[in-house]
Structure 1
């Protein structure tokens, strides 16, 4: 082969490996998301608790169980207006105000499932979507961060998910997900 005509893949080894890893991650995430939906529909059809499941396109209320995939969420409360979170040594200040969403999450599936605060969202009355602040969520957890944990079947975790929203806004609903690719379930916060 001529010296100036080297193979593109050989010439860009690092980029080729990085692209291959990204492709593998996307395929794994897609398979994980579709497995959680299959498990949810088969377990909910055979479960005597089917009547408690939040129907698609329905909105649960604070204090009611709401299911998405392998998780059953119960939003206990939401408190807004916090200027900062943390302790004496680790404090984070909000750009606007912090809203602390107090949630319990139970794994209703047949295998362990990862829970990430980054898959949870708040909405205001005009439909603006707010992402969780992972660092603030970590600082707000008194005994460590439960929002990056694997939850085994039948087990539950409780804690707060922290959102940084403008001071003049009030969240009206939360959208909770068992994975980044799931459809999510809405919970009315008012």
Structure 2
């Protein structure tokens, strides 16, 4: 079965991100169309990027990088959860993505954003990062407002309208994740 990671984008104490990720996981698991798993970047204790070699070389020196790489390599696709921070992705997510390269290549990603402007600017910046990692990011996104989808700006309770934005993204993501398995197999056969 296609394996999809739901990746948190924040490591901050009291973060909203984990609640959004848990909700996405619960919704995704109801579908039965893929094997979904929550991957919390906080569990990997990644410092500011501290590898001597560019990620494309896969010459990882640090144990935290090796563990992170092994986990990410398990999946066919990803849902990245990002709040908008200074009109961009959350710093912890950008840092975590910077550690790796080949583990993401020829895989698919969907995105869920939240913020004062539904996380739209964070999503657009994330698209650029994912393109460089050779990740095929789907067009549909889950978008949530800090003003209407969070109780007291902290407890995630999406409106019905915004909650409905998740299913089209997951539809595309599952399809693309499955299709890109063939691309990865062709790449391996060519080596």
TM (normalized to structure 2)?
0.24
TM-score normalised by structure 1 residue count: 0.24
Query: Normalized per residue, which structure has more helix?
Result: 2
